[in-house]
C-alpha cells in the first residue's frame, strides 16, 4: 500500500466527517459508548470511532487496511477561561484547520506552524519507520502561545 493512497483515503473520510457529510452515531464498543462516523467512496471504506480525547480511524482500500490511532484533547476549562476562550472555539479551530489543510497534516510529513490571528496549529512527526510504515506524530493548537489542544497519532498498516 502506498502512502498517497492512504493519505487520500484517511483525508477523504476525516474531511467528510468534519464537513458534515457523514452521520455521527453512538455505538457500543466492548461495553463503552463511543461516537462513530462512516464514509465509503468506491473501494475506499473509512470508519472512525472516538470518545472524549481519543479514538481510532480504520481505512480499507481494496484488500489492504490501515489505521490511525489518536489520543489527547482540549486543555482544562480553567486554562481556557483564563485565556477567554471556550472548548467549542478550540474544536471549531481544529475543524477549520483539518478542512483547510487536508492531506498536509495528520499523516506522514510535518505541517509547519500556521499562525492565524492568535491561533497556531502545528503537526510534527515524532518518529517514522518506513520499513514497516509506522509513523508517530503530534498535533498541537496554541492560543496566544498557550497550549490548548494536543493529539498524538500512531499510523500503521493492519496486516
C-alpha 22/C-alpha 20 separation (Å) is 6
Q: Which domain holds residue 114?
A: 3-158
Mean pLDDT of 131-150: 96
- Residue 113's alpha-carbon distances to 25, 59, 123, in angstroms, are 33, 27, 7
Q: How many CB atoms sit inside 10 A of residue 71's CB?
A: 15
Mean pLDDT of 39-64: 93
Cβ–Cβ < 8 Å for 134, 146? no
Q: What is the pLDDT of residue 50?
A: 94
Q: How confident is the model at residue 2 (pLDDT cuts 50, 70, 90)?
A: confident
Q: Could you tell me which residues come within 8 angstroms of residue 155 by beta carbon, excluding any fewer than 6 positions away?
A: 6, 66, 67, 68, 107, 108, 133, 134, 135, 136, 137
| Domain total in the chain | 1
Q: How confident is the model at residue 20 (pLDDT cuts 50, 70, 90)?
A: confident
Query: Quick check: 139 pLDDT over 80?
Result: yes
Distance between start and end Cα atoms, the chain:
11
Percentage of the chain beyond pLDDT 90 is 81
C-alpha cell at 124: 510534527
Average of per-residue pLDDT values in the chain: 94
3-state secondary structure of 58: strand
Q: Could you tell me which residues come within 8 angstroms of residue 146 by beta carbon, excluding any fewer than 6 positions away?
A: 75, 79, 83
Amino acid at each position: 500500500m502506498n502512502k498517497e493512497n492512504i493519505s487520500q483515503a484517511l483525508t477523504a473520510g476525516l474531511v467528510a466527517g468534519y464537513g458534515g457529510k457523514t452521520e455521527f452515531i453512538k455505538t457500543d464498543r466492548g461495553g463503552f459508548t463511543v461516537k462513530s462516523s462512516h464514509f465509503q467512496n468506491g473501494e475506499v471504506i473509512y470508519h472512525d470511532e472516538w470518545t472524549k480525547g481519543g479514538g481510532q480511524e480504520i481505512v480499507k482500500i481494496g484488500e489492504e487496511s490501515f489505521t490511525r490511532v489518536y489520543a489527547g484533547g482540549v486543555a482544562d476549562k480553567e486554562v481556557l477561561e483564563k485565556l477567554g476562550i471556550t472548548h467549542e472555539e478550540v474544536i471549531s479551530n481544529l475543524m477549520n484547520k483539518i478542512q483547510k489543510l487536508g492531506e498536509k497534516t495528520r499523516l506522514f510529513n510535518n505541517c509547519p506552524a500556521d499562525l492565524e490571528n492568535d491561533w497556531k496549529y502545528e503537526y510534527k512527526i515524532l518518529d517514522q519507520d518506513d520499513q514497516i510504515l509506522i509513523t508517530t506524530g503530534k498535533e498541537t493548537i496554541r492560543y496566544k502561545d498557550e497550549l490548548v489542544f494536543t493529539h498524538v497519532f500512531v499510523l500503521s498498516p493492519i496486516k
